[in-house]
Amino acid sequence: MLDIQKIRADFPILSQKVNGKPLIYFDNGATSQKPQVVIDAISKYYQEINANIHRGVHTLSQLATDAYEISRGKIQNHINAKHSHEVLFTSGTTFGINLVANGFAAILKPGDEVLVSALEHHSNIVPWQMLCEKTGAVLKVIPMNEKGELIMAEFDKLLSKKTKIVTTNHISNALGTINPIKYMIDQAHAVGAAILIDGAQAVPHLKPDVQDLDCDFYVFSGHKMCGPTGVGILYGKEAWLNKLPPYQGGGEMIKEVTFEKTTYAELPHKFEAGTPNIAGGIVLGTAIDYMNEVGFENIQKQELELLEYGTKRLLEIEGLKIFGTSKEKTSVISFNIKGIHPYDIGTIIDKLGIAVRTGHHCAQPIMNHFNIPGTIRASFSFYNTKEEIDVMVEAVKRATLMLS
């Protein structure tokens, strides 16, 4: 059992007031809050070992390089990658997806097919559209049902020898649906296709085992799992990373440069051009240490309780409809009140110190499917409480009365 009050004390922002009310932060799907240990680690880097990495023989450079590579090793262990050089530091999930899509521009030809799920964030749609426009490949969409689940029978029909890469999120940011990615990975491989998993919404809730999943690429961001913004991870199988061309040219990613020819560095440096977010990379390891200390089994149990309790309480409100009712779901509740725009509810409850997300959540195709402008999204983390949910429910009731 988690000592929630002790955990909440680790997060200084949770003790503050917003609009004169205690902050209730239910926008964890957008970004998580940061524990003091992460905040302190950022400061410690800049106070004690700030230097560029991989390039200097002086002491600070060596210390910074060691800390950066130790963090890479922590992340390798966390996701169970076979090699540390399969773990690439990026600026976030979006960068990782674009890196892979750009690499496939050298592989795809007209008539090849890219499969993308209907549940995707725009970051996992637009790069593939751009890739198809560039190469003449065809983008095909795995459809969803009214519960917000991907229709596996249709996925199976779409797969063919023309399919070169499949891309899907592990968990939907807009609906909380947990996709059957192990099945999708196996089916993609059966037709010779690669598969990329967008794990941005998954890593705050579970530990992906990339070897067990057998995915070709897995991408995620640090800031959704108690880490800093501006840093993320692209895991790629060694064979695929060796096959793909570099995404950017510059320092660090080269072995030798002349004006006649450049040869590229070995993995992972081939894809890590320029000075990275050194502090972010180091501190992402600190954030993962913190979450493992809390324990992902404990996190999942707490968040499942919050999801079940929040769902029950919100459904007490007349005219409230929840979008995303998959049996396999994480701690996200997207809902609307009949006849009321989601933005209006969000604005009113913000005045009461409650942070939720309103809008299309960068998932407009999902909103188009349900023929709605957007939803109110309450996304819970392990540091949230049932008491906070009670306050939110009463606030939504109050806002509903005001707007009816």
Catalytic residue among 132, 215, 226, 362: 362
Under DSSP, is residue 136 helix (H, G, I), strand (E, B) or coil?
Answer: coil
β-sheet bridge partners, residue 337: 320
Within a 13 Å sphere around the CA of 94, how many CA atoms are in the beta-carbon half?
9
8 Å CB contact between 392 and 349:
yes
- Whether the bond into 268 is cis, omega within 30 of 0: yes
Q: Which helix or strand (DSSP H or E) is residue 344 part of? A: helix 342-350
Number of other residues whose CB lies within 10 A of the CB of residue 228: 22
Number of Cβ within 10 Å of residue 131's Cβ equals: 22
State the DSSP string of 34-56: --HHHHHHHHHIIIII---SSS-
Report CA-CA distances (Å) from 264 to 126, 250, 341.
Answer: 28, 10, 53
Residue 362 a catalytic site member: yes
Instruction: Report the C-alpha gap between 220 and 200 in whole angstroms.
Output: 4
Q: CA geometry: angle at 327 spanning 322 and 330, to 5°?
A: 75
Partners of 256 in the β-ladder: 263
Tokens found for residue 133: 């426009």
C-alpha distances (whole Å) from 365 to each of 61, 184, 249, 328, 374 are 46, 21, 34, 21, 11
**Pairing state between β 217-221 and 262-264:** unpaired
CB 364 within 8 A of CB 173: no
Mark out the alpha helices in 53-174 (DSSP H runs).
59-79, 93-104, 126-135, 152-158
Where is 211: in which H helix or E strand?
Answer: helix 210-213
Q: 324: which residues sit within 8 A by CB, 6+ positions away? A: 147, 148, 172, 174, 175, 176, 177, 332, 333, 334
Do the Cβ atoms of 215 and 197 come closer than 8 Å? yes
Token readout for 227 is: 């880490």
Q: Which residues are catalytic?
A: 362
